[in-house]
Chains A and B, each alone.
Chain A
Amino acid sequence: MPERQTFQADATVTVDAELHDIWAVWVDARAWTTWDDSLAAVDIDGNFKEGATLTLTPTSGDPVQATLVSVTQGEEFTDEVELPFGVVRTSHRMGRVGDLAQITHAVTAEVDTHHVADFATTVWPELRGGVAASLTNLAEIVGD
């Protein structure tokens, strides 16, 4: 395996919402487009559980295959996409803070070193910005 460099970004929001409502929005993969502006369409093969395959069609670009690599109902899920430059994992986690819900979206990219320069200037800014943007959209949907 080539040597890789890791890029990470995350964002957290606290919102007046029920965890089961957030979970219901997350597991409706076909409707991720309602809170993730980078996506034009999503399809899922089978149930929302570990190992399921997602087809993510970005607003610009060709569809890519993602895999749900971790799903803990009511707590978190992570999907993973293998791309020519490396691997991108997007994690979604939630929990209660007092009467409120705390939601965290995070993206981790493990990028082959010889792609790092290109990735850092052309891909990463959009990925990083999308974390906060998707979280803001989600909070607006689920919040009271």
Chain B
Amino acid sequence: MWMQQLINGVSLGATYSLVALGYTLVFGTLGIINMAHGEIFMFGAFFGLLLAETGVLSAAAMLAVAAGGAAVMGLLLEYIALRPLRRWRGGHLTPLISTIGVGIFLRSLALHLFGPESQVFPAALRGGNYRLGGAVVTEVDLVILTTGLLLMLGLWLLLSRTKLGKAMRATAENEATAALLGVNTEAIIAVTVVLAAALGGVAGALVGLSFAVSPTMGLPYGLKGLSIIVLGGMGNVVGAMAGGLILGFAEVITVQLFSSSWRDAAAFALLFLLLVVKPEGLFGRAHQAGGKA
């Protein structure tokens, strides 16, 4: 049974991690929390579903469409809700409020476009199950876990090994200095927001594939994603991945050892305890790469 709960924890945690990656990327570079991330995540799921409903039953194509659609939304978010505020030097709170607004708008839009009902992906795309020493693993779980690991690896390589990553880190460290040194910071910020949105879209499509798609699906995941980046260290990619898995395990273990009605309470109590011991988060540094603090 512990084998099954282990698998449950990994697959739940992996979905959390995927959501958290997008948050952490934007926070790391811009020092703001994108409250519309959960809704972009939801739209990603709907983009994937729309493609699947046209009869294209390929997980790769579905993820590509979800990422592409969400990336376009990220670009719009940057140009409509973030960039104008930066020009007015609104501080940290204004983009928080404006992204909350975008989130509410997107949720209402989804309700109008797709209706309030939950929808599921065609069974053919969801694949089957594998048995692993008495425990059950679904094909979707494996896809989520591999995608999560690959995206984390890619992101880490991008940030630490490429020139673009260097520019992103420089912008995060100090936007003005980076601009003085010849980094096109506005373009770097746009790329970051678009990349984060694309990650959110992929996460949404995977969660939708695993469970169901509905206009409100972004809310709980958004909340969990936020807690995870606090847990993992704001702006830290490895921290987001590890934080997601820890939260997933904490929830599953609470259900197994205590009671399911304590599921969220115990998971968040653990988060609280970790932060008391290590206020900067698991992988955070005292002076965070978020830079703006």
Q: Do A and B make up one complex?
A: no
> Which of A's residues lie within 8 Å of B, judged by CB?
none
